[in-house]
Amino acid sequence: MGPRQGDLFAQGRPALDPAAAVERLHLDDRSWIDVSPRWLGGGDELLELLAARLRWTRAKRPMYSKMVDEPRLGAFVRPGSPGAPALLDDMAGALAARYRAGFDSVWVNYYRGGEDSVAWHSDRIGIDPADAVVAIVSLGGPRRFRLRPAGGGPSRSFTLASGDLLVMGGACQQNWEHSVPKVAAAPPRMSVTFRRTAPRSGR
């Protein structure tokens, strides 16, 4: 689970780059994504830290008439909780300041190799899909992240490298779905996902 050859940015001590460029892409008139390459340096070291420190589980989902294991590991973290790396607080704070959204939970998906994946879905746990901000920081090996209109349609693909940030906002969780497809082979990768699960005041 060592660092990838040739990607010096992913190595070293993890640190945020507040000056990292951000590009906004409008998916429709109500949905958008922001992409910020190399938002976090030292992503490979953070991956190894999380792999060792978090309590990983493997959820089950129904398939036909039986329950099967999901093809990845997952772990829930609440920023500031005992054992959570302090850098997660810094990441949540930087994202909250930029997007004016209080991120109160972190979910980490662990893709151990190319056979691990996540099917088409939208994030609707504890958030309003009509106006939700979901931020994903990729760690480790590069993987494709796909987006398509809810229910099917032409997809858009982004290759996320270690330290890249992708933020989905507006009505993205209502109008669009995303996935990480299987590949023949891939180094370990994690997606660190920041969400707000508590309802906003006044709602």
Write the pLDDT tens digit of every residue in 153-193. Answer: 999 999 999 999 999 999 999 999 999 999 999 999 999 99
153/169 Cα distance (integer angstroms): 20
pLDDT value at residue 3: 40
Contact 7, 147 (CB under 8 A): no
Contact 38, 20 (CB under 8 A): yes
What percent of the chain has pLDDT above 90?
70
pLDDT value at residue 64: 64
CATH class of 19-195: mainly beta
Q: How confident is the model at residue 4 (pLDDT cuts 50, 70, 90)?
A: very low
Enter the pTM of the model: 0.89
Q: Are strands 60-63 and 156-160 parallel, antiparallel or unpaired?
A: unpaired
Mean pLDDT over all residues of the chain?
A: 88
